[in-house]
Structure 1
Amino acid sequence: MKQTELIKQLTDDELKKQLILSQLFLIVLSLILSFFLFSTLVDWVQYFRWLPKEILQFGVFPGIAIVFIDLILMYIFPKRYYDDGGINERIFKNLSIKEIFLITLLIAISEELLFRGVIQTTFGYLFASILFALVHLRYLKKPVLLISVLVISFLIGYIFMLTENLFVTITTHFIVDFLLGIIIRMQKRGAMNE
């Protein structure tokens, strides 16, 4: 059975639970892999540096720019080009702002720990960026979404190359997902009020 067919059989609550479980799995996987792929835990922990100016410059500003560009592209391209099968809409449409904050923070942490913190540091920028895009299976048949996730993946990977700071990439990833989650929620609420 295809992924989209399986997802359609889930209720919105089940879908949210599956998302949370998958992200928790990525965190556990990242921690396990870090023990095998790094000589010491210190080698891995060095990628976590709280540098507010760097986080603002390379995390916050690029995240906002990505969302701004994404909004322009959503305006230019027909909605069907950005349709991921309604999965993001199902996830975010009925969540509170607090729930969107927590879920997108979990996603940003889990995916950046694995893709930048473990895979990119071990196997390189190109491999991690392509793998990140491929993991988003539902985008593979949607060229605009696929190109978008590829560009974002390469950009975040490049930011990690520049800063070697996971707090920066987690921030970028979080801002993109959080703001787009809020936009999806607002669009759905706006459509319901019309």
Structure 2
Amino acid sequence: MKRPSQSDLIKTMSDKEITLHLMLTQAIILALSGIGSWLLFTSFWEGWRNQFTLSLFEIFVYGIVPGVIVVSIDLILMRFVPEKYYDDGGINVKVFKDRSLRGIIGITLLVAVSEELLFRGVLHAQFGYIIASTLFAVMHIRYLKKFVLLISVLFVSFFIGYMYEITGNLLTTITAHFVIDLLLALYIRYRMRQLL
């Protein structure tokens, strides 16, 4: 018997089930960042405090601007590359197409904070740029058979990792990640409404 594809499984799940799985995944990632920092940091609180700097310049230059650049590149790719090469199996459409603006902001902020705390705050801080960026890309395993998505997530992972290399500031990487996810989620939501 043939194993069902990811997109076939996604079609059988409700929007609420997909969202629940997303929330559980983010809770696990947050827990891993807490456990990892407790095990790996010399001082738990000091380890976190040293990675947060409220610098509006850094947040703008290394967070907002790179986020907008990444989304611009993605939108250009979506215009010229056939949809089958960047289709994620329908997960993002199910999560965002009918969600309120407040819900989209909440989900994309949760994802940006949890993933950046683990991948940049713990893994990058302890094991370096290459390992953290590679693991971030590997976490998006569903993209492995989609060449354009794989290249995109690798680029984003190393690009955001580089912003952390430059600044050492999690507020910049959280901002970049949030801007990317928020703008793409809004694009999905409004594009799907136009198609209806």
TM over 0.5: yes
In the alignment, is the contact (CA less than 8 A) between 2:104 and 2:185 conserved in 1? yes
**1:93 to 1:36, Cα distance in 2 relative to 1, 3 A:** same
2:37 aligned counterpart, secondary structure: helix
CA shift digits 1:46-76 (9 cap, x unpaired)? 1011111110111001101110111011111
What CA distance in whole angstroms lies between the structure 1 residues aligned with 2:47 and 2:73? Answer: 35
Provide the TM-score with structure 2 as the length reference.
Answer: 0.94
Which of 59, 63, 67 is equivalent to 2:67?
A: 63
In the alignment, is the contact (CA less than 8 A) between 2:10 and 2:90 conserved in 1? no
Provide the TM-score with structure 1 as the length reference.
Answer: 0.95
Superposed counterparts of 1:114-193, under 5 Å:
114-192=118-196
Equivalent pairs: percent with the same residue? 49
CA RMSD of aligned residues (A): 1.3
- The yes-or-no answer on 1:30 pairing with 2:33 is yes
Unmatched 5+ stretches in structure 2: none
- Which residue number corresponds to residue 17 of structure 2? 14
CA shift digits 1:106-155 (9 cap, x unpaired)? 00000000000001111111111111111111100000000000000000
Give the letter for the 1:127 counterpart: I
State the 1:7 CA deviation.
3.8
Aligned residues: 192
**1:6 to 1:191, Cα distance in 2 relative to 1, 3 A:** closer
**1:140 to 1:49, Cα distance in 2 relative to 1, 3 A:** same
State the 1:6 CA deviation.
4.5
State the 1:8 CA deviation.
3.9
Give the letter for the 1:25 counterpart: I
Unmatched 5+ stretches in structure 1: none
- The yes-or-no answer on 1:101 pairing with 2:105 is yes
| 4+ long deviations beyond 2 Å | 5-10
